[in-house]
Amino acid sequence: MFSTTDQIIECVPNFSEGRNHNIIKAIEASIANTPHVKLMHVDIGLDANRTVYTFAGKPDAVLDAAFYAIKTAAELIDMNTHKGEHPRIGACDVCPLIPIQNISMEEVVQLSKKLGERIGSIGIPVYLYEYSAQKSNRKNLTNIRKGEYEGLKKKLMINEWIPDYGPRAFNQQFGAMALGARKFLLAYNINLKSKDEHLAKEIAKQIRIIRDKKDNSYESNLFNHVKTIGWYMKEFQCTQISTNITDIEASPLIDVFTQIQKIARVYGIDTNGSELIGLLPLKALQHPKMTIDEAIEYLGLNAVKKFNKQERIIEYYLHIHP
């Protein structure tokens, strides 16, 4: 489908539905039926009540697929009744665009603006974030999500939070969404051999404390691009340290796992492998002392869900690795 000379971008929209399979399938179909796009993975989170779709392709085709998926969500998801573990502001909570091959970040920023204008035209408030952010307080997704869907009506009344695209009026059924160009982000969860949610939250808090010290220590530097929360996942009968790794070069996946494992053991808790949401680039698993297969084994990526490297590593899936 693709060659090594094509421009390719990835899109990883997160939708606030993880339980109604008819809705999940309808959004999936809107992506899969778009020409020149490859739907690579669908990750359904029952407890989070959230589904993450990962797809890639030529830029304009990816924009089409994202728009169709968001339009479908706007028609089928009602945020008035949504409950889940994960923070969210709308039916499509966030839609990142990531450069994969032969395309610059600035080009992807322009694509995000083009998509934002299109989404806004159907009545959805859109906030640009990360590299696309037009205001400094919108660069960080956490700021946009603050107050979540439940606080959105009041937030929209504040001049500081007028959307970048779409109406300022509260869209009760959909809510709002974040959209932007960003680097690879790994949504990555470490399993704990514990059902104690309080301890999981304490471990996540300790990681944030170490990160925010900014004392130039190894751990503080390592966690500088790592966001964490602790939660209990009934589906897996364990707690997890849920992380977003926003820079896989500054905060290498294997090192992050190793250090969080050490911190958990200080609290008397061992780990039981880990879970990757969506796909990851090949370089995230490359390590000078391990093969790719050894890295997968070390991280325990098969612990709660099967991890097939041919389907979960982007370059393998798209057949564009050297």
For residue 315 the two structure tokens come to 């370059």
> Distance between CA 32 and CA 9 in Å, rounded?
16
Q: Cβ of 144: how many Cβ atoms within 10 Å?
A: 23
Quickly list H helices, 41-97.
59-76
Helix, strand counts (H, E) of the chain: 11, 11
Residue 128 confidence (pLDDT):
98
Nearest to 86 by CA among 47, 132, 142: 47
Q: What is the pTM of this model?
A: 0.83
90 in Cβ contact with 127 (< 8 Å): no
Residues annotated as catalytic are 86
Q: Cβ of 237: how many Cβ atoms within 10 Å?
A: 10
Residue 305 confidence (pLDDT):
86
State the burial class of residue 319 (Cβ atoms within 10 Å of its Cβ: 0-12, 13-18, 19+). Answer: exposed
The residues pairing with 95 across neighbouring beta strands, listed in sequence order, are: 179
Pairing of the two strands 177-181 and 126-128: parallel
Which segments in the chain show pLDDT lower than 70? Answer: 322
Residue 322 confidence (pLDDT):
66
Residue 192 confidence (pLDDT):
98
Residue 3 confidence (pLDDT):
86
The pLDDT tens digits for 124-153 are 999 999 999 999 999 999 999 999 999 999
The pLDDT tens digits for 248-269 are 999 999 999 999 999 999 999 9
Residue 31 confidence (pLDDT):
98
- If phi over 0 gives left and psi between -120 and 50 gives alpha, with beta otherwise, what is residue 37? beta
- All residues at 6 or more sequence positions from 290 whose CB lies less than 8 Å from its CB, including other chains: 254, 298
> Distance between CA 127 and CA 35 in Å, rounded?
27
255 in Cβ contact with 222 (< 8 Å): yes
For residue 238 the two structure tokens come to 């364990």
Q: Kindly list the structural domains of the chain, giving each domain's residue range(s) and its CATH number in brackets, ordered by start.
A: 8-181 (3.30.990.10), 186-318 (3.30.70.670)
